[in-house]
Chains A and B, each alone.
Chain A
Amino acid sequence: MGIPLEKPRVVLETQEIGKEFNGVWVLQNIDFELAAGEIHTLVGENGAGKSTFIKLLSGVHAPSHGRITMEGRPVAFSGVRDSETAGVRTVHQEVNLVPFFNVYQNIFVGAEERTRFAGVGFVNDREMKKKAARVLEQLGVDVPVTTPAYELDASLERIVQIAKVLVHSPKVLILDEPTTSLSEEKRKTLLQIIKGLKTTGMGIIFITHNIEEVMEISDRVTVFRDGAKIGTVERADATPAKIVAMMLGHESFTIYKRGDCSSCLDVDLELKGVWTDTLKDLSLELHRGEILGIAGVVGAGKSEIAKAVFGLDRIRQGHITLFDRKYEPSPETAVSRGIALVPEERQAQGLIPNFSIMKNITLTYLDRFARGGMLDTGREIEAAEKYIDLLSIKTSGYAQPVKYLSGGNQQKVVLSRWLNGDFRVGLFDEPTKGIDVKAKEDIYALVDQLARNGKSILFLSSYLPELLTICDRILVVHGGRIVGEFDPKSENARESIMHAMLGGKVAQ
Chain B
Amino acid sequence: MNSAHILTRVRLDKNFLRKYGTVLGAVLIFAVFSVTANNFFTAGNLFLLLRQMSMLTIIALGFTFVMAAGGFDMSIGNATGLVSILFAIVLIATHNFMAALLAGLIAGAVVGAVNGLLVAGIGLPDFIGTFAVGSILYGVKMLITKGNPIFFDKNVSPLFLFVGQGYVGPVPFPVILMFLFVALTIVTLLKTTLGRRVYAIGGNFTAALYAGISIKRYRFITFLISGLSVSIAAIIMTSRLGSAQPLAGEDFLLDAISVVFLSTTMFGEGEPTASGTFVGALIISMLNNGLTMLNVAYYFQYITKGLVVIFAVVLSVVLGQRLRIKF
Contact = CB atoms under 8 A, between A and B. Distances in A.
Interface in A397-411: 401
Contacts of B206: 348-349
B193 A373 contact: yes
Interface stretch (A113-121, A270-278, A352-360): A352-360
A352 B208 contact: yes
Interface in A336-392: 341, 343, 348-355, 359, 363-364, 366-367, 370, 373-375, 377
A332 interface: yes
A47 interface: no
A225 interface: no
Interface stretch (B20-28, B162-170, B194-202, B291-299): B194-202
B36 to A, nearest CB: 39
A417 interface: yes
Contact of B209 (A331, A351, A417): A331
Interface centre among B206, B209, B211, B269 (most CB of A within 10 A): B211
Contact of B271 (A335, A354, A359, A367): A354
B203 A355 contact: yes
Contacts of A211: none
Given A367-B193, A374-B191, A375-B191, A312 B210 contact: yes
A453 to B, nearest CB: 21
Contact of A352 (B193, B207, B214, B270): B207
A331 B192 contact: no
B203 A341 contact: no
Given A351-B204, A354-B203, A312 B193 contact: no
Interface string B205-230: 01111111110000000000000000
A349 B200 CA distance: 12
11 contacts: A334-B212, A343-B210, A349-B206, A350-B207, A352-B207, A353-B203, A355-B200, A359-B196, A363-B197, A370-B192, A374-B192
Contacts of A366: 193, 196-197
A24 B214 CA distance: 42
A312 B206 CA distance: 10
Nearest to B215: A331
A352 B212 CA distance: 13
Contact of B269 (A331, A335, A354, A364): A354
A359 B208 CA distance: 12
Nearest to B201: A352
A332 B217 CA distance: 11
B196 A332 contact: no
A461 B20 CA distance: 46
Contacts of A363: 196-197, 200, 208, 211, 213
B322 to A, nearest CB: 8
A331 B192 CA distance: 22
A341 B212 CA distance: 9
A366 B194 CA distance: 10
Nearest to B194: A373
Given A351-B207, A352-B208, 18 more contacts: A310-B210, A312-B209, A331-B209, A331-B210, A332-B212, A332-B213, A341-B210, A348-B206, A349-B206, A349-B210, A353-B203, A355-B199, A355-B200, A363-B211, A364-B213, A375-B192, A375-B196, A377-B191
B187 to A, nearest CB: 8
Contacts of A355: 199-200, 203
Nearest to A346: B207
A306 to B, nearest CB: 10
A352 B194 contact: no
Interface string A288-332: 000000000000000000000010100000000000000000011
Interface of A: 310, 312, 331-332, 334-335, 341, 343, 348-355, 359, 363-364, 366-367, 370, 373-375, 377, 401, 417
A377 B203 CA distance: 20
Contacts of B211: 331, 363-364, 417
A370 B193 CA distance: 7
Contacts of A377: 191
A350 B210 contact: yes
A363 B208 CA distance: 8
A350 B196 CA distance: 16
A351 B206 CA distance: 9
Contacts of B204: 348, 351-353
Interface in B135-183: none
Nearest to B214: A332
A370 B187 CA distance: 14
Interface in B208-259: 208-214
A440 B194 CA distance: 35
B294 to A, nearest CB: 40
Nearest to B187: A374
Contacts of B271: 354
Contacts of A401: 269
Interface centre among B200, B206, B210, B214 (most CB of A within 10 A): B210
B182 to A, nearest CB: 18
Contacts of A312: 209-210
A337 to B, nearest CB: 11
A439 B239 CA distance: 63
Interface centre among B196, B207, B213, B269 (most CB of A within 10 A): B207
A355 B271 CA distance: 11
A364 B212 contact: yes
Contacts of B193: 366-367, 370, 373, 375
A331 B212 contact: yes
A352 B203 contact: yes
A112 to B, nearest CB: 30
Nearest to B191: A375
A496 B269 CA distance: 50
A348 B207 contact: yes
| 3 residue pairs, one from A and one from B, having the closest CB atoms | A335-B212, A352-B203, A331-B212
Contacts of A334: 212
A380 to B, nearest CB: 10
A154 B209 CA distance: 29
B193 to A, nearest CB: 5
B140 to A, nearest CB: 35
B192 A352 contact: no
A406 to B, nearest CB: 18
A373 B196 CA distance: 10
A366 B208 CA distance: 12
Interface centre among B212, B213, B269 (most CB of A within 10 A): B212
Contacts of B270: 354
Contacts of A364: 211-213
Nearest to B195: A375
Contacts of B196: 359, 363, 366, 375
Given A370-B192, A373-B192, A374-B192, A352 B200 contact: yes
B197 to A, nearest CB: 7
Interface in B245-297: 269-271
Nearest to B209: A331
Nearest to A335: B212
A334 B211 CA distance: 10
Nearest to A307: B210
A166 to B, nearest CB: 37
A366 B206 CA distance: 17
A351 to B, nearest CB: 6
A353 B204 CA distance: 7
